[in-house]
Structure 1
């Protein structure tokens, strides 16, 4: 069988779908949601992939937001869009400061949970376990409640 260039193009297609975009962080909505300014001067809201931070009304919610702000506010970042959420926000893997993965840094600092429902990256689970064992951030609270459980409880209270 001879090699045909068309086959090579099909091999590259999966790689092309994860192109990186450069942007500047201009806002922090909460620990896992940022606003970026794109090169064309439009703003885009990014929901961080693979991590879920405490809600603003939840213990450590302000701490998580401050951690994310300290890490990326005003900085140039790169991001890879991975999906859209049900509210139309772009879900993205965000990288900063010489390729640090923001979601991993949040989990490592104990400022968020590995969102295992939407992630296959078990190394993030290892970072969460290490943060928990070392009582970093929200893991200082032995009764820390995940954001998804917190949201579920709030929803039940409304009904």
Structure 2
């Protein structure tokens, strides 16, 4: 009886451990899905194209942030900022999934080790998008956003900047 109880306890602990491992893999970008490539295109502030394996262009939607739309205030500057930070540079791509348009959603790590998302938020060229930014790193990005807002950097110079997700809804009316 004692052996079977120990076996059940061991199985229970093993199952809990495996569940924890599975959850952690689901809640963070998997390093097995990380790769490097050269940024060959900038569609807008939060969408870039990276050349994978020196031959396959991959359109990437930046994870967790939302930049102003092109026709929105600060939209062109956000695109220019993204271009300045990463165009024609080798970046690391940490895939987090696919969006509804089939684009790869990823965290982009710049050559200096910072993330493109972090830099755009700190420069006041993007918002952290609470609806989609769920990883622990989002707290750091939110702190950077708060600092940019307090300092009146980038889009925070405007009296009442409108987040792109609200702007898109209002522009459809």
Please tell me the TM-score bracket, short chain as reference: 0.7 to 0.9
Spell out the pairing of 1:89-104 with structure 2 (5 A cutoff). 89-104=103-118
* Corresponding position: 1:17 with 2:17: no
Partner of 2:156: 139
1:44 shift after superposition = 0.5
2-structure distance, mates of 1:40, 1:107: 29
Structure 1, residues 7-28: CA drift from partner, whole Å, max 9, x if none? 8xx6877389332111100000
TM-score by length of 1: 0.87
Structure 1: segments with no counterpart, 5+ residues:
2-6
How many residues align? The count is 151
Tell me which moved more, 14-23 or 73-82: 14-23
2-structure distance, mates of 1:91, 1:72: 16
- Among 118, 126, 129, the residue aligned to 2:132: 118
Q: Which has the higher helix share?
A: 2
- Among 54, 58, 64, the residue aligned to 2:68: 54
Structure 2: segments with no counterpart, 5+ residues:
1-5, 7-13
1:122 shift after superposition = 1.4
Question: Which 4+ stretches in 1 moved above 2 angstroms?
Answer: 10-19
CA contact (8 A) 1:18 1:82 kept: no
2-structure distance, mates of 1:151, 1:50: 17
Secondary structure of the residue aligned to 1:100 is coil
CA RMSD of aligned residues (A): 2.1
- Among 48, 59, 62, the residue aligned to 1:45: 59
- Among 59, 71, 79, the residue aligned to 1:65: 79
Structure 1, residues 23-51: CA drift from partner, whole Å, max 9, x if none? 10000000000011111501010000111
